[in-house]
Amino acid sequence: MSEHDEIEQSLRRIALGHGDELDHWRARAAQRREERTMSRNDNDPDPNAGEAWNRWFDDRFDAVMKAQWVDDIGGTIAEARRDMRDEFKTQLHKLELEVAELRGELRALRAGAGKSEVIELPKMAWNHGNAA
């Protein structure tokens, strides 16, 4: 329910004699708002002056925000992205080395097993918790 609808309901309840304190407060507030609007329209020589001011302020605000914040934030994000990429490459290289090492150990185990099809892994390989 909009504010206008609530005020209309309050005015109807007051007219019927069923209005409570909230209804009377809404009626007084609506009347004050209407009086302010009427007096503002009488004293304002240019009704669009406020709109022009808002546009000017918005343009200035946008320019300042772009100059002071957007470029700095963009630079910070770019730097963080570069750092994360370097860290990712380092971690990936470590994992590639570890995989190569494990492949070499597996080849050695296979070669050492000879013709036997059963490959006996060292007891350390059973422990999955020590893989890190």
More confident residue, 18 or 83: 83
What is the value of pTM for the model shown? 0.36
Per-domain boundaries in the chain: 1-43, 51-114
Q: What tens digit of pLDDT does each residue of 67-117 get?
A: 777 777 888 888 999 999 999 999 999 999 999 999 988 888 777 766 555
Q: Which long-range contacts (CB under 8 A, 24 or more apart) does 100-103 make?
A: none
Q: Which helix (H) or strand (E) holds 87?
A: helix 71-113
Residue partners of 120: CB distance under 8 A and separation at least 6: 109, 113
